[in-house]
Amino acid sequence: MKYSLLDLAPIPEGSGARQAIANSVGLSQFAEAQGYNRHWLAEHHNMPGIASSATSVMIGHIAGATSRIRVGSGGVMLPNHSPLVIAEQFGTLAEIHGDRIDLGLGRAPGTDMETARALRRNMSQQDTFPQDVLELMAYLGPVEDGQRLRAIPGADTNVPIWILGSSLYGAQLAAHLGLPYAFASHFAPEMLEEAGEVYRRTFHPSEHLDKPHFMVAMNVFAAETEDEAKYLQSSAILGFAALRSGTPGPLPRPVARLEDHLQPNWIAAAQTRFTVSAIGSEEMVKRQTADILERYQPDEVMVNAQIWDHEARLKSVGIAAKVLRELGAEGSF
């Protein structure tokens, strides 16, 4: 089992996108030194608190600032794009950075519907995600005899493709295509157990993968004490409440007492999003992480850390790496 890192390039309250991008570079360099296997960036649009909307640009920037860690998308929201364009973008990244690029694909828009219309120009009512995935895989694979339409760069780069999801749909598609599957349990944990079972039970070996590879995303808020860790987590809870109430903004500063800033129903709703999480001191995080590993038996763990203070985020990411290695995960040193 390896451990990896998810990054939304959060824009902290009181800062801007330039600092968020610089923070992501520093985070990746630190994660590489800590043995993380991958650093994935997520595509979201029209979000004042997220600086990774131009996901392939961010991937190239971070891959150029690191030397060993794999860098990829967690994920590209494929319905927003032409498969050919994504093949060209990630084919170009692969030609520049070699076999360090991952392409995780999601089916959701990653934004509100008004923004989705602005991205896509022509909205289709049909779900063409499976066909789009197959088309993209063909562009990145070997050129067939007589093939007129090619991704240049892209053809024959065989950039590894992952299916991302938070329901049984992605699990079934990944199993059918014989692809690795990453579950978004850091914000949508409800169907994690069932999705993992379905994916593993129905998996078909392919030229890409001979056995299932199931990644579980989890939140880690680690600090010296439990109180400090909960203080760090308050930013993510406030951010969740703002997003769900239709007023998204930069990642909020942490607060000592959530009840002074949110109604109890919002706090309760937010807490249901963090059931696949480890929060507290190093010892507490280790115990909670061990429970998650025992219950879900992932082939890989992806750590998410939406923390306002960059230095506190690095510290949490470092504790998470140490704990995971102590629990048997393999570092990519």
In terms of Cβ atoms closer than 10 Å to its own Cβ (0-12, 13-18, 19+), residue 223 is: buried
Fold classification of 2-220+298-326 (topology level) = TIM Barrel (3.20.20)
Pair 73, 162: CB distance under 8 Å: no
Go through the chain and tell me how many residues it has.
Answer: 333
pLDDT bucket at 122, cuts 50 / 70 / 90: low
pLDDT at 271: 86
Whether the upstream peptide bond of residue 75 has omega within 30° of 0, thus cis, is yes
Residue with tokens 């598609």: 173
Q: What is the pLDDT of residues 67-117, one digit of tens each?
A: 999 999 999 999 989 999 999 999 999 999 999 999 999 987 656 777 777
pLDDT at 35: 98
Domain ranges of the chain: 2-220+298-326
Rg of the chain on CA atoms, in Å: 19
pLDDT bucket at 119, cuts 50 / 70 / 90: confident
CB atoms under 10 Å from CB of 133, counted, come to: 20
Overall average pLDDT of the 256-263 stretch? 94
Q: How far is CA 176 from the centre of its chain?
A: 22
Q: Read off the tokens for 236.
A: 């993510």
Q: Read off the tokens for 186.
A: 């850091």
pLDDT at 206: 97
Q: What is the pTM of this model?
A: 0.94
pLDDT at 120: 67
Which DSSP string do the residues of 150-202 spell out, in sequence order? Answer: --TTTTT----EEEEESSHHHHHHHHHHT--EEE-TTT--TTHHHHHHHHHHH
